[in-house]
């Protein structure tokens, strides 16, 4: 009888250990997912809410060296949107797409320019040779929803080409 109680006690302890480890793993995964999609801090901008039509629109995507599925999805969705809806503007240079690794020291100047510190998408509307940088944070809420993701990115680029911006950096 004593051996049976000891076995049951060990099994109970093992069950509690398994539950604790499972809980810690869930917290770790949630933390990693949140860190990957965390938005950059707000940085004030001098941009107006309405500008002249853009001379050029730079679409700039930053990523980490170790990329999660959400980050890969975002870059693929942005590329798809540009190649599908802005092919002519890409070919004539009115719209450009650049991607940068945040860990590459050679990208330090552009990382500072955009104040990027995690995976981020920025649209820089250039009017009169002046940058009007806007971070597109909403993409992270639309991961996996292809149609809404593409519509958001397409709409933001169209607004930039027309010289409309929300005034945030």
Per-residue pLDDT at 54: 81
79-124 confidence digits (pLDDT tens): 999 999 999 999 999 999 999 999 999 999 999 999 999 999 999 9
Is the per-residue pLDDT at 140 higher than 90? yes
Spell out the alpha helix ranges (H) of the chain: 2-36, 69-85, 87-91, 108-114, 146-162
The Cα–Cα gap between 168 and 46 comes to: 8
Is the per-residue pLDDT at 61 higher than 70? yes
39-48 confidence digits (pLDDT tens): 444 444 444 4
The pTM assigned to this predicted structure is: 0.68
CATH number of 56-162: 3.40.30.10
Is the per-residue pLDDT at 3 higher than 80? no
Domain ranges of the chain: 1-36, 56-162
User: Token pair of 146, please?
Assistant: 């292809």
Least confident of 14-28, 53-67, 119-133: 14-28
Q: Which residue in this structure is represented by tokens 């929300």?
A: 166
Are residues 123 and 58 in contact, defined by beta-carbon separation less than 8 angstroms?
A: yes
User: Token pair of 16, please?
Assistant: 């509690």
pLDDT-above-90 percentage for the chain: 60
């Amino acid at each position: 009888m004593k051996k049976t109680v000891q076995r049951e006690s060990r099994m109970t302890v093992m069950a509690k250990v398994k539950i604790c480890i499972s809980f810690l793993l869930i917290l770790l995964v949630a933390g990693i997912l949140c860190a990957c999609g965390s938005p950059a801090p707000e940085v004030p901008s001098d941009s107006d809410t309405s500008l002249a039509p853009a001379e050029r629109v730079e679409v700039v995507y930053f990523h980490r060296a170790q990329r999660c599925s959400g980050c890969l999805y975002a870059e693929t969705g942005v590329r798809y949107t540009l190649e599908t809806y802005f092919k002519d503007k890409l070919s004539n240079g009115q719209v450009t797409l650049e991607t940068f690794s945040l860990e590459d020291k050679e990208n330090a100047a552009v990382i500072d320019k955009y104040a990027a510190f995690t995976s981020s998408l920025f649209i820089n509307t250039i009017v009169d040779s002046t940058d009007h940088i806007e971070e597109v944070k909403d993409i992270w809420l639309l991961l996996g929803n292809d149609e809404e993701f593409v519509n958001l990115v397409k709409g933001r680029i169209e607004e930039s080409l027309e010289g409309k911006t929300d005034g945030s950096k």
